[in-house]
Structure formats: structure tokens, C-alpha cells
Structure 1
Amino acid sequence: MDKKAKIEILKKILAIESVNDNETEVADYIASLFANYSTAKIEKVSYAPHRDNLVITIGNSGPILGYSGHMDVVAPGNLADWSTAPFEPTIKDNCVFGRGAADMKGGLAALVVALLELLEKKSELPGQIRLLATVGEETGEYGAAQLTKLGYADKLAGLLIAEPTDNMQRIVYTARGVIDYKVTSKGKSAHSARPQYGINAIDNLVEFYKLAKARLAKFTATDEVLGGVTHNITVIHGGEQVNNIPSYAELLGNIRTIPQYPNKLFYEELEQIIAELNKQKGFSLAITYSFPEEAIPGSPDSPIIQIAKKVHSKYWEKPAAITGSLGANDGAEFLQAKGSFNSIVIGPGSNTSHQSNEYVDINSYLKSIDFYQDFAITFLGTQLIK
């Protein structure tokens, strides 16, 4: 496949407005690229209307290497901040600009082209490669969760996720987990001139706020790569109007966890606070969680890291940094599959994720395609030797 065709595939994927929805159009386009290859197994897995995961497997038998990328993107934000239309991919200064260029349609397109080229060349694979293209990564990794529950990640030999890592200059082996939670507070309305007849839902929510900030501060351990736990209350809503005692209030909290602390410890702490407060007169609090993810442990000395470093050195003079990620990714779900395997994250893309004027460097994108092909053949070859 020539350079122009590789860039065109990237641009077509970028042009699809899959803002936390509409991933089916991306899946259909990618599937169409593989339709003429009888040796490619194509499976669409529906999550919801207009939201289909896509699984493509190439190779006939042997160990399976997972390649993963998500098809959704975040909203472009204020269009006035963009120098080009976010869903009209534009090339300038040897970069492709557009929403999702870095996070992570650049990496997804590179994986797609890598597999297509292996099929075009009729490469003899020492195993299989399975592309797991997911929905909903930006809002909770629920596409990856669905594919994991259905067994698509069972007994993988390894997993590579093509999230952006400073234009392929970092290889990530560990990542923080995340717990998004919501606390609701029910009270009783009354005129603000007669507050004794009501129950102030905001006051009760503030009591939870203070206790949660204090109690979770005791998780003081730090990870040498990921740092410490963070806990932030990020959204608060409540009340009806200024002269009413509020009958309802809610807050959203975000915890970023590290491998030293399983998520269950935070659930226990938060739920204990809820139980304690609800024993008091007038309190009616409840807590729910939104797609929590465990932290991803790992070792910088694992075989998959060593292979990635070796292959990387063939394409870049500067060695890749072996590091961790402060954000969560689909690997947290896939690693719950049956079997034992390690995951890494390495992908093209700048540090403009979620920003206006997001872009991917064309040279990085093209070299990543070669890397993904070489890595797959090298990694799967080592699995056959075992």
C-alpha cells in the first residue's frame, strides 16, 4: 500500500463524527477494507444502536496477539478554537489535524493498515492477530468490557493498545485505575424563611464531601512510576431556587488508583461513610459507580516490553522510555479475560489529546505501521518457541 492510501484511510476514519456515539460507521468502514480478504474473520458486536464493536482476526492458528484501539472520540469543544474544521481532516506541516487524530484514530488507523499490508503481502504469520476496535472508551471502557465478557480476549498471548505515547517515544506497561462515583442526597423542601420544616439536601451532601476527602486521604502509598492516589469532587448540583430549602443534591467524584490499592478498598470506605451518615436523622444518601477500572500492574522487564524495545530500536534511534500512564485505558477490561497475559501501550499521536487543533505527525503514523507489523511477527514467533 502506498503512502497516499495509508493517509487516506486515516483521513476517512477521522472524518466520521463518532463523538461518544456512532462508532458503527467507523466499524463499517474498517470492515469494508477487509471484505475482499477471505482469510480475515470479521465480526461486529453490537453494544447499542449505532454502537458496534469490531473484531477482525487474521492468521489461521496458533497464539493470538491482541491489537486494540477505540473508535469513539471526545467532543471538539469550542469550534472557534480550531484553526481547521475538526471533522474535515487537514494536512499541514506534515501533520494530519482533526478530532481524534491523536486520541486515538491515528493509532487505530495504523493498526488497520498494518493488518491490511500483512494480508496484501500474504505474510506467513506464526500465529494470529486479533484487532479489537471498541466503543465507549472515552466514557467508561464499556465496549472493551463487553468484548471481554464475550470471550474475545480470552487466552491472548499479549495485548498492544495503540493509544498515543508521544509519537511512539514511550512504551507504557502500567496505568492508574479510575473510580467515577455519584452520590445523591434526598431532603425535604420548605420555604427558606422556615428551614426547620425542611431537610437541606445540600447540607447533608457537604457532610459526605468533608468525610470523603478526609477518609480517602489516608491512602498515602505511592507507586514509583504512577505516583499516588488522587481524589477529586468534580461536579455538584443541587437545589431548585434561591428561596427554597433544597430537596435534592448530587455530586460526582473521581478517584485515580494505583496497583498498591485494589478498588474494593475505596468502595468500602465510601460506602461506610454513606452508612454512617444515613444513621443520622434526616440523611438519605446513596452512591453508585460508573464503569470503574482497576489499576494495571506490570513489569518493565516483562518479555513483551523487551520485544517492543528491540523492534522499536529498528525504526527510531532514540530508545523508547519505559513508563506508566496516569489515565486509564481499555487494557483494564481486557486483562480481566481468561488466561494470563501482559499489555503495553504504544501509539502515534501528539500530546494534543482532547485539545483543539489535535493532530498526528505523518512520519510517526507511517513508521508506526511498520512497527506494528514487525512487532506482531516477532512477538508471535517467540510464542511458538515456548
Structure 2
Amino acid sequence: MEKQQKIQILSDLIAIRSVNDNEAQVADYISGLFEPYANKGVDIQRVTYAPGRDNLVITIGEGPSTLGFSGHEDVVAAGDPADWSSDPFEATIKDNKLYGRGATDMKSGLAAQLIAMLEMLESDSVPGKIKMFATVGEETGEYGAAQLTKAGYVDGIGGLIISEPGDGMSRVGFTSKGVIDYIITSVGKGAHSSRPEKGVNAIDPLVDFATEVRSVMAKFDKENPVLGKLTHVQSVISGGVQINSVPAKGIMKGNIRTIPEYPNQVVFDALNGLVEKLNQRPGFDLSIKYSFPEEAMPGDENSPFIKLLKKVHDGMFDEPLEAVGQTGANDGQEFLHAKGDFSIALLGPGNDTSHQVDEYVDLDVYLKSIDFYKQLAVEFFAKEK
């Protein structure tokens, strides 16, 4: 495939406004790229999550072992277009950098893996069975990856590389923190503020929860050698409707980033226990729910798969590949629940401009990442023989 065509594919993907939705258009575009190779055994499965939101599972090649590729189809909102130097949904090239929403997170990684597969098909050089998982909803809860995992599409793979931004292909993530978003609702009774005894102030129990939850979270004091400690942030609090009324309802939200040493259920038990204890107090009516919790993703930087990535990378790039932990959530935290014993790696051409104005990817790195994914496939299956 010519260089300009590779750039055009990425540009076309950026032009699709898959902002936390609308991934079906991305799936349509990707399917169109592979349909000309139907006579070469390409299998394209569309897995609908919701109207307008389609995952894709594309399989090429055959053999007893499977290498997994993955990238998500959605992007975050661009914000005010006036803040950008160019239209965020029209790829713009300047100083060998391609700008646009999703350029780094992670349509460049998605495009690179797709093109690697297309070039293998084009040259009749598919070295083994490769499955591409293009997912919906990664930015808002990894629910496309969860759907594919529960349906068994990921079972039995031998290794999975997700093309999350890897600081210009210089860092591979092999472990990551989990996430728990919790929502505490407090129900009271409204009344005029001049007669507070007639009501029950819903904010007071939230204040007590906010104070006591700190000591509860402080008990999770183990430190992961790569990811550090579990973290907790009280991020949203709201209640009441006007200044001269006793608030009848209040809400508090918090975000916890977990580590493998503390499975999410252990944290759930601690939070649920605190709510139960507080509800023994007069006038307290607290409830808690959790939104899209993700387990921490354990990993081993000395696993055969990570070692293979380092070997391939270091034969192509000037600087050695650094194995790191990541604090953000990713699709790997759902894929890890698939059946089988396999390693997950996070490595793509993107950089640290994710979710920012003037997000970009370096074109040289993007183009080189395509060759990396192809060579990885060759060496992955060579070691299987």
C-alpha cells in the first residue's frame, strides 16, 4: 500500500465523528476496506451493541494459535472547535504531524493495525490467524470490549496487543489500574429553612460519608511496585434547590483507581459497609451504586509476549522499548476476563496529546508502527512453530 493511501485511511477515520457514539459508521468504513479480500478467507463479524454502535471482529489467516489486535472506534468530544488550530474532524498535516480528534487516541493505532492486516492480505503473506477487535464505547466504559468478551469472541487467543497511545511507540503498558466510580444518594425531607425541624437535611449524611470514607480508603495502604497505591477522589457533590429550603436530596460521586492487590469486590464491601453503618444513625437514608467498574489489569513485564514485543521493537526503533504501568482504564480490563492464558500489551503510535486540543500523531511513527505490527505477527507465529 502506498504511503499516501495509509495517511488517507487515517484521515478518513478522523473525519467520522464517532464522539462517544456513531461507531457504526467507523465499522462501515473498516468493513469496506476488507470486503475486496473476501476471496482470501476474510471473516467480518459485526456485533451490535446499540443502534448506530457496532463492534467489528475481523479474522484473517488460519492456524491453531491466534494473535489479537484491538483498537476502539470512539473518540472523546473535541470541545470548542474555535480552540483548535484546525477543524478537529478534518485531518490536517503540518510539520509531519497529522492533527485531528482521535489522531493519537486512538484512530492512528486502529488504522495502523488494520493496514498491517490489509498489507498481509495484499501480499498473500498472512503468517497465521489474526483477530482484530474494533470496539465501541471504550471512552465511556469499555462496554464494547465487555460485550465481545462475554460473547466468547476473545476466548483462546495467544496474545493481545491494544494500540493505545504508547508515547510514540516507546512505551508498552503491561499492567494498569482498575476503576470504580461510585454514586452516593442521600434522601431527606424538604422544609422551609426557617423551620428546619420539619425537614431532614439530605446534605448532612453526605458530609459524614465524605469525612469517614477517607479513613476507610486509607486502610488500602498496600503499594503495587509498578502502579503505586490505590487512589480515591471525591469528585462531585450536589444537593438542594434553593438557599431557603432544607434539601430533600443530595448526591456525591467519587472515583477510585484500584491496583491488583485489591480486587474491586474488596472495595465494594468496604464502601457498602460504611453506608450500612451510617444508615443506623437517625435521619440517614443513604444508598450507593457503581458505574462501569473495571478490575485492575495485572501483568508481567517478563512474560514471553512482552519480551517478544521488546525484541521486535528494538530491532526497528533506535531507543529500547520501556515496559510501564498505566493509571487509565482501557479495553484490556474487560478482555482479561476471556477464557485462556494470554498476555495483554498496550502499544500504539499515539502520544500524550490524548483528549487535548490539537491532538496529533507523528506521521513517521504512525507509518513505522504499521511495519511493527506486521513484523510482530511474523515473529509471533514463528515462535509457535
Distance in 2 (alpha carbons) for counterparts of 1:303 and 1:64: 15
Distance in 2 (alpha carbons) for counterparts of 1:336 and 1:270: 24
Q: Cα 1:134–1:237, aligned 2, differ >3 Å: closer, same or farther?
A: same
Residue 37 of structure 1 corresponds to which residue in structure 2? 37
> What are structure 1's unaligned runs of at least 5 residues?
none
Distance in 2 (alpha carbons) for counterparts of 1:160 and 1:124: 17
Taking structure 2 as the reference length, the TM-score comes to 0.98
The within-5 A match list for 1:1-386 is 1-38=1-38, 39-125=41-127, 127-383=128-384, 385=385
Deviation of 1:290 (Å): 1.1
1:68 alignment partner, SS class: strand
Deviation of 1:27 (Å): 0.7
Contact 2:60 2:126 in 1 (8 A): no
Deviation of 1:80 (Å): 2.6
Deviation of 1:60 (Å): 2.3
Distance in 1 (alpha carbons) for counterparts of 2:19 and 2:203: 33
State the Cα deviation string for residues 197-232 of structure 1 (Å, max 9, x = none): 111111111111111122101111111211111100
Distance in 1 (alpha carbons) for counterparts of 2:213 and 2:129: 47
Distance in 2 (alpha carbons) for counterparts of 1:201 and 1:320: 52
> What are structure 2's unaligned runs of at least 5 residues?
none
Taking structure 1 as the reference length, the TM-score comes to 0.98
**Relative to structure 2, which stretch is displaced further, 133-142 or 72-81?**
72-81
Contact 2:13 2:107 in 1 (8 A): yes
**Relative to structure 2, which stretch is displaced further, 350-359 or 214-223?**
214-223
Deviation of 1:62 (Å): 2.0
Distance in 1 (alpha carbons) for counterparts of 2:37 and 2:317: 32
Deviation of 1:381 (Å): 2.3
Distance in 2 (alpha carbons) for counterparts of 1:305 and 1:190: 61
Distance in 2 (alpha carbons) for counterparts of 1:261 and 1:313: 34
Tell me which amino acid in the other structure corresponds to 2:261. Answer: Q
The number of residues matched between the two structures is: 383
Deviation of 1:291 (Å): 1.2
Deviation of 1:303 (Å): 0.3
State the Cα deviation string for residues 80-129 of structure 1 (Å, max 9, x = none): 3211111111111101100111111110011111111011011142x211
Contact 2:98 2:363 in 1 (8 A): yes
Distance in 1 (alpha carbons) for counterparts of 2:108 and 2:101: 10
Superposed CA RMSD: 0.9
